[in-house]
Amino acid sequence: MRDYKRILVTAALPYANGPLHIGHLAGCYIPADVYVRYQRAQQRDIKFVGGSDEHGVPITIRAMKEGVSPQQIVDKYHAIIKDSLQKMGISFDIYSRTSSPVHHKTASDFFKKLYDDGLFEEKETEQYYDEKTKVFLADRYITGTCPVCGNANAYGDQCEKCGSSLSPEQLINPRSTLSDAVPVKKLTKHWYFPLQNYETWLKQWVLEDHKEWKNNVYGQCKSWLDNGLQSRAMTRDSNWGIKVPLPGAEGKVLYVWFDAPIGYISATKELLTDQWADYWCKEDTKLVHFIGKDNIVFHCIIFPAMLKAHGGFVLPDNVPANEFLNIEGEKVSTSRNWAVWVNEYLEDFPGCEDVLRYVLCANAPETKDNDFTWKDFQDRNNSELVAIFGNFVNRSLVLMHKLCGGKVPVFHNAVIDADDKQLMEDIQSAKAKVTQSIEEYRFREALYEIIDLSRKGNQYLQKKEPWKKAGVENGQQQIDNCIHLSLQLTANLAILINPFLPNTAAKMLHMLKVVEKMLDWKNAGSFKLLSVGYTLRAPELLFRKIEDSEIAAQVEKLRTNAVTGSAPQGTEKKALKENDAAQQPGPQLKPEIVYDDFAKLDLKTGKILSAEKVEKADKLLKLEIDLGSEKRTIVSGIALHFKPEELVGRQVVVVANLAPRKMRGIESNGMILMAEDKNGKLHFVNTEEEIEPGAGVS
């Protein structure tokens, strides 16, 4: 492993067009913070920079929806995002914003350097134009059908359903988001960055020099490089953003994906006015980008090519991107408010910041898309944090006060036994495993080892039973040894858990009456963290039990908000009363389609042959469906509405040509049509009379 003198960590810049949701935390902010806190505990020179991305089309779209200026939007949501990150313990050294004067100058100077070096291609091309609003349409002002997955609401730069990077020209039946008009092509001038000129270098740098990158990152980069790179426009027609610093470029701004990653550089400049170049321009700096998988191409191909072209900058050592986090079996959708918003979580669960950090790390989508459910959130809190980790810490301190007078007892080497030795070995082994896992960006694995170590602590106490040793030969010595090692393990757990659950670690330090310096990573594995004879504070519960009623309320809130379309309004909350439900307007009609769109659906009648619950998924049922010519497995989110035994023999209508999708490890081949009444009850969409399986529906 290369010996670096300093580390620079970046986390993806969130668009300041709405609050953060838990997918943002799971994707990059919690993993980045864990890594940074660990490196700080190692006493390494590390800086953690981030900020809000305040340019680009999502900002202007939000401004239009709310009837305010783009500046008002970014001011509002930058404050909300920054507050949420701070309260969740994301420990940036600086959280900046791309509207800052330093950033505007840095990005402009970067563009001008490439321009002066003759590295741009100036092209006049036909681009989509909205004749109703008289404006050129940036990628996100255009929606249409995704050519990859068939999603009817894909954007001109990306399909949020399947994650494919797109161009507006690839969309089927494109329409303007401003007026819903069919856009036309019109000539406009832009400056293009010739990515193809860097293809050979990128293939060597990514595919040969960085084979250690995560499979999802390496694979996506390889796919792009294998398909061949093309010139990409680095400017857009807009009045919101960083003005193109060239004569004759009125009404044009820097492309947001040219501008945004430079935000990492400008944030570092704000943080370290005189020393910023040490972290960006010295080869002994380790640069690490934490991102979600939708940003892989930009951070692993486009931005490195820009840095290479400019010259003088270090390139990323690693880009540990996570996959997507779904919610209750469905993809996050901010447009229909299918999301768990961080600012609302902080209001609903005060003092439970570490619980969310724990769940999102323990269930992080490190190698594949994962699913967040409120039931799993509750189970992990109650079964792991409360019943295992918190229980061990509490038992250790309670027993110390009960059996050892509230002081750290002496350790008697004369009566040490195999169980004592095994626990000491377990502590040393856990430190080594956690260290290696964090260094290699396997945070779920590291967190598991910590919880497992606390589980071994509980087993140790249960086996030793110090409360039964009073009055037996060498009884007090055995008690002392057991409590001494349990307390030393507690102190070790504080060190190991600190990068993951900093508030919890702080509570443990308070109870142990030790200073923050003890959390230095070098101290992990020591059995001299707490001095013999030292009086410790009375134990306090580290975590509280989360009740069924709290979880039911969150599930209902998620469902209700998605059905009604109510959107989060910053820190304000919209309360919907049950007696007003009937007065709520129904869901908005989706964009108009033509017959050819409908004709793409292959609808068939089917009969349910068997039904069973999917393990650890309260909403899902695994169904075997007879479609006449074949039998299909379909996973359907109807378990809250139907008992499995009620469904056998029922007729259904199935979308038979829907692309297969894995849910809880089961490949689902199709979708059953359902209707939802005003009370939220699901009903099968069906023919008036039963018909044989496999019949076409039109």
Q: Dump strand ranges (E) for 94-153.
A: 94-97, 121-130, 135-136, 142-145
Task: State the pLDDT confidence band at 597, using cuts at 50, 70 and 90.
Answer: low
| Closest of 173, 66, 113, 619 to residue 372, by C-alpha | 619
Burial class (CB in 10 A: 0-12, 13-18, 19+), 579: exposed
User: Alpha-carbon distance 315 to 322, whole Å?
Assistant: 20
CB 31 within 8 A of CB 364: yes
Residue-level pLDDT at 590 = 52
Q: How many residues appear in the chain? A: 698
* Ramachandran angles phi, psi of 609, nearest 5°: -90, -35
pTM (two decimals): 0.79
Residue-level pLDDT at 494 = 98
Q: At what angle do helices 391-403 and 443-464 cross, to 10 degrees?
A: 30
CA angle 98, 101, 103 (to 5 degrees): 45
Residue-level pLDDT at 661 = 79
Residue-level pLDDT at 576 = 28
497-529 burial, b for 16+ CB within 10 Å, e for fewer?
A: bbbbbbbbbebbbebbebeeebbebebbbbbeb
Segment 497-532, tens digit of pLDDT: 999 999 999 999 999 999 999 999 999 999 999 999
Residue-level pLDDT at 440 = 97
User: Alpha-carbon distance 184 to 134, whole Å?
Assistant: 11
| Closest of 292, 168, 156, 300 to residue 223, by C-alpha | 300
104-108, 171-175, 226-230, 616-620: range with lowest mean pLDDT: 616-620
Percent helix, strand and coil across the chain, each to the nearest 5: 45, 20, 35
Segment 337-390, tens digit of pLDDT: 999 999 999 999 999 999 999 999 999 999 999 999 999 999 999 999 999 999
Mean pLDDT, residues 293-302: 95
Mean pLDDT, residues 405-433: 97
Both tokens of 601, joined, read 């659906």
| Closest of 483, 482, 491 to residue 528, by C-alpha | 491
Segment 240-258, tens digit of pLDDT: 999 999 998 999 999 999 9
The yes-or-no verdict on residue 569 having pLDDT over 80 is no
Mean pLDDT, residues 638-643: 83
| Closest of 494, 510, 483 to residue 398, by C-alpha | 483
Both tokens of 523, joined, read 């101290």
**CA separation (Å) from 395 to 101, 489, 490, 512?**
54, 12, 10, 14
Average pLDDT, the chain: 91
What sign has the CA pseudo-torsion 222, 223, 228, 231?
Answer: negative
Segment 125-164, tens digit of pLDDT: 888 999 988 788 878 789 999 999 999 989 888 887 887 8
Both tokens of 307, joined, read 């840095």
Residue-level pLDDT at 593 = 62
Residue-level pLDDT at 662 = 74
Task: State the pLDDT confidence band at 584, using cuts at 50, 70 and 90.
Answer: very low
Residue-level pLDDT at 643 = 84
| Closest of 309, 139, 163 to residue 235, by C-alpha | 139
